[in-house]
C-alpha cells in the first residue's frame, strides 16, 4: 500500500496541511487550500557548485560598487537604485492589465545593445510583436521571443543562448514537468523561481519575473517568492487613470523609498519627469474643497491636490468615502474637526479624493485634507496660491513632518506664494525669500490661514 500522495497547500502563504481545511491556520485566509501531489522532486539539474567550502573572512571580500546596467528609462533606474545589477532576480508584481508586459517590452526595446530573451507563457509571439509595434521605440533587432511554459526547455534555451537579459511573462504560467501540481500553484511557482534564481546567479544574467497579484488567492500570489528574489517591484495605479507608479517593495541593491511615475498612452508608457506639474494640471481655481499638499514620495517632493466634498446626508447613515486616502485616517480627522474645532459633520456625507488616482499614506497630508473638508463645508474656497502641509494630532495640534526643506522648495518652484507648515518645523527651513512661510501650531490657526 502506498502512502497518501497528496497534500493540501495554502495558495496564499504556502502552508502545508495533510487534509483540506477551510481557513488557513497560518495566514487566516479562507478557502485557499489546493490539493497537490507530494511526490518527491527528482532534480536533474546540478545544484550550484560551490568552489570553496570554507567560510571567507569578511575583510578579504572586495567591497567595490555593484556594477549596474542602465535601463535607459530614468524612472526605472531610480527605482532599481541606479540600474540593473547583473545576476539579480527581480519580481515585477501588479494587477492584471496594469501594464507589466508593456513596461518590460519597453525596457527590452530601450536596451538596444543587449540581447533580451522575452519568454511569454500568456500571449503568442504575434501578440507580443503587435504590442511592441504600438510602442514609440522601434529598434527591436536584439529581442528574441519564445512562447513556452515548460521551464526545463526555457532553462536550456537560456543556457545555450546566454542572453544579456531574460524576461519571464509570467511566473504563474511556468511549470516543471516533474511536478504534478498545476502551473500557478505554490509548489510550481516556488520551484520555478528557485531554478531561475540559480541560473541568474551562476550565469550572471539578470532575470525579470512578472507575477500577477490576485486578492482572492486563487492563483499563488507572488508573495510566496518574495523572500527568494533580490528585488520586488510593484506596478500600481487606478484602472481608470493613466498614471502608473512603480515602487520597490524590497531591494537588495538599493533603497525601497524611490518611486517611478509613468503615464499610459496609446503608444505605451511615458515617464512623468515632472509629477507635480502633471498632478496639478487639471486643477480648478476658486472652487471650495480643494487644497494643494506637498507630499514626499521616496525622496521626491510631489505636489498633489486633495479634494473634499461635504454634502448634507439625504439617506439615514452619513457616508464617508475616500479614494487614494486611508478611510480610518479620514474618520480620525473628522473626529478631531468635530471635537477641537466644533465642526458638526454628523449629518453630512464626506468624500475625499486624491486627484490623479494616486494613493498617499503620508500623515503630512492631514492638514490639506482637513482644510479641504472645512472649505467644502463652509463653501469657501481655500487660498489657491498656498500649499498646506502638516500632520494632525488627536489634540488638534499640528505636528512636525520630515524633509520640510524639500517640500518648501518644490512649492516655491511651482510658483506658489505661501506654504502653511507646522510651527515646530520653522527652525528647519531657511526659505529663499520667494515663498512666504507660515508656521501654525493648531488646526484653528491653519484654517484661519487657508480659508479667506
d(CA 88, CA 445): 52
Comparing CB distances to ligand TYD, the nearer of 121 and 289 is: 121
Comparing CB distances to Mg ion, the nearer of 120 and 322 is: 120
d(CA 175, CA 184): 8
For residues 78-97, which are near ligand TYD according to CB under 6 A? 94, 96-97
For residues 289-318, which are near ligand TYD according to CB under 6 A? none
Query: Residue 316 phi/psi, 5° resolution?
Result: 45, -110
d(CA 25, CA 41): 26
The contact pattern for ligand TYD, residues 404-423, with x = CB under 6 A and - = no contact, is --------------------
Comparing CB distances to ligand TYD, the nearer of 63 and 97 is: 97
Nearest to 424 by CA among 394, 443, 398: 398
For residues 116-155, which are near ligand TYD according to CB under 6 A? 131, 134
Comparing CB distances to ligand TYD, the nearer of 100 and 329 is: 100
- Interface residue with ligand TYD, options 100, 176, 223, 329 (CB under 6 A): 100
Least CB distance to ligand TYD at residue 100 (A): 3
Q: How far from 89 is each of 17, 262, 295, 325, 424, CA to CA, in Å?
A: 30, 23, 31, 32, 44
Cell numbers standing for residue 76: 526605472
Residue 390 near which of Mg ion, ligand TYD, none (CB within 5-8 Å, type-dependent): none
Comparing CB distances to Mg ion, the nearer of 103 and 336 is: 103
Least CB distance to ligand TYD at residue 449 (A): 42
The residue count of the chain comes to 452
- Interface residue with ligand TYD, options 206, 268, 324, 439 (CB under 6 A): 268
Nearest to 86 by CA among 183, 172, 166, 192: 166
Residue pair 11/21 in contact (Cβ under 8 Å)? The answer is no
Comparing CB distances to ligand TYD, the nearer of 213 and 341 is: 213
d(CA 205, CA 69): 11
Asked if 372 is part of the footprint of ligand TYD (rule: CB under 6 A), the reply reads no
Residue pair 225/184 in contact (Cβ under 8 Å)? The answer is no
d(CA 417, CA 294): 14
Least CB distance to ligand TYD at residue 237 (A): 10
Asked if 359 is part of the footprint of ligand TYD (rule: CB under 6 A), the reply reads no
Comparing CB distances to ligand TYD, the nearer of 188 and 234 is: 234
Least CB distance to ligand TYD at residue 298 (A): 22
Residue 96 near which of ligand TYD, Mg ion, none (CB within 5-8 Å, type-dependent): ligand TYD
Asked if 330 is part of the footprint of ligand TYD (rule: CB under 6 A), the reply reads no
Residue pair 254/80 in contact (Cβ under 8 Å)? The answer is yes
- Interface residue with ligand TYD, options 83, 99, 260, 356 (CB under 6 A): 99
Cell numbers standing for residue 418: 505661501
Comparing CB distances to Mg ion, the nearer of 104 and 373 is: 104
Q: How far from 133 is each of 91, 105, 139, 263, CA to CA, in Å?
A: 25, 10, 10, 18
Taking the CA atoms of 40, 44, 48 and 51 in sequence, report the sign of the dihedral they define.
positive
Task: Give the interface size with ligand TYD as a residue count (CB under 6 A).
Answer: 14
Cell numbers standing for residue 8: 493540501
Residues facing 36 on adjacent strands: 7
Q: Which residues of this protein are in contact with ligand TYD, per CB under 6 A?
A: 94, 96-102, 131, 134, 264, 266-268
Amino acid at each position: 500500500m502506498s502512502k497518501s500522495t497528496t497534500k493540501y497547500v495554502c495558495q496564499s502563504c504556502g502552508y502545508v496541511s495533510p487534509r483540506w481545511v477551510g481557513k488557513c491556520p497560518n495566514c487566516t485566509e479562507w478557502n485557499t487550500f489546493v490539493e497537490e501531489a507530494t511526490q518527491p522532486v527528482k532534480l536533474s539539474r546540478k545544484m550550484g557548485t560551490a568552489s570553496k567550502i570554507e567560510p571567507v573572512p569578511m575583510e578579504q571580500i572586495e567591497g567595490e560598487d555593484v556594477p549596474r546596467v542602465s535601463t535607459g528609462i530614468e524612472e526605472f533606474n531610480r527605482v532599481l537604485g541606479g540600474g540593473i545589477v547583473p545576476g539579480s532576480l527581480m519580481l515585477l508584481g501588479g494587477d492584471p492589465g496594469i501594464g507589466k508586459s508593456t513596461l518590460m517590452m519597453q525596457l527590452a526595446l530601450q536596451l538596444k545593445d543587449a540581447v533580451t530573451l522575452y519568454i511569454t507563457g500568456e500571449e503568442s509571439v504575434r501578440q507580443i510583436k503587435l504590442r511592441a509595434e504600438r510602442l514609440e521605440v522601434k529598434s527591436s533587432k536584439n529581442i528574441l521571443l519564445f512562447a513556452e511554459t515548460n521551464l526545463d526547455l526555457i532553462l536550456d534555451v537560456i543556457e545555450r543562448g546566454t542572453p544579456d537579459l531574460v524576461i519571464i511573462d509570467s511566473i504563474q504560467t511556468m511549470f516543471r514537468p516533474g511536478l504534478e501540481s498545476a502551473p500557478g500553484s505554490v509548489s510550481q511557482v516556488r520551484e520555478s523561481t528557485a531554478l531561475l534564481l540559480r541560473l541568474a546567479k551562476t550565469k550572471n544574467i539578470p532575470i525579470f519575473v512578472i507575477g500577477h497579484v490576485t486578492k482572492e488567492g486563487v492563483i499563488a500570489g507572488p508573495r510566496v517568492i518574495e523572500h527568494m528574489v533580490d528585488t520586488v517591484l510593484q506596478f500600481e495605479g487606478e484602472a481608470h487613470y493613466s498614471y502608473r507608479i512603480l515602487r520597490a517593495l524590497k531591494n537588495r541593491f538599493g533603497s525601497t523609498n524611490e518611486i517611478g511615475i509613468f503615464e499610459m498612452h496609446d503608444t505605451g508608457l511615458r515617464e512623468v519627469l515632472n509629477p507635480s506639474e502633471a498632478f496639478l494640471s487639471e486643477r480648478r481655481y476658486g472652487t471650495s474643497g480643494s487644497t494643494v499638499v506637498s507630499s514626499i514620495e521616496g525622496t521626491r517632493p510631489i505636489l498633489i491636490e486633495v479634494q473634499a466634498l461635504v454634502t448634507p446626508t439625504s439617506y439615514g447613515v452619513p457616508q464617508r468615502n475616500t479614494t487614494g486616502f486611508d478611510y480610518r485616517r479620514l474618520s480620525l480627522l473628522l473626529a478631531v474637526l468635530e471635537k477641537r474645532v466644533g465642526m458638526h459633520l454628523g449629518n453630512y456625507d464626506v468624500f475625499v479624493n486624491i486627484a490623479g488616482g494616486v494613493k498617499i499614506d503620508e500623515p503630512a497630508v492631514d492638514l490639506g485634507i482637513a482644510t479641504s473638508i472645512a472649505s467644502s463645508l463652509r463653501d469657501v474656497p481655500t487660498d489657491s496660491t498656498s500649499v498646506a502641509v502638516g500632520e494632525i494630532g488627536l489634540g488638534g495640534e499640528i505636528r512636525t513632518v520630515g524633509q520640510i526643506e524639500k517640500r518648501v522648495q518644490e512649492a516655491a518652484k511651482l510658483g506658489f506664494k505661501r506654504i502653511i507648515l507646522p510651527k515646530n518645523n520653522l527652525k528647519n527651513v531657511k526659505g529663499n525669500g520667494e515663498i512666504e512661510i507660515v508656521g501654525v501650531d493648531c488646526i484653528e490657526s491653519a484654517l484661519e490661514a487657508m480659508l479667506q
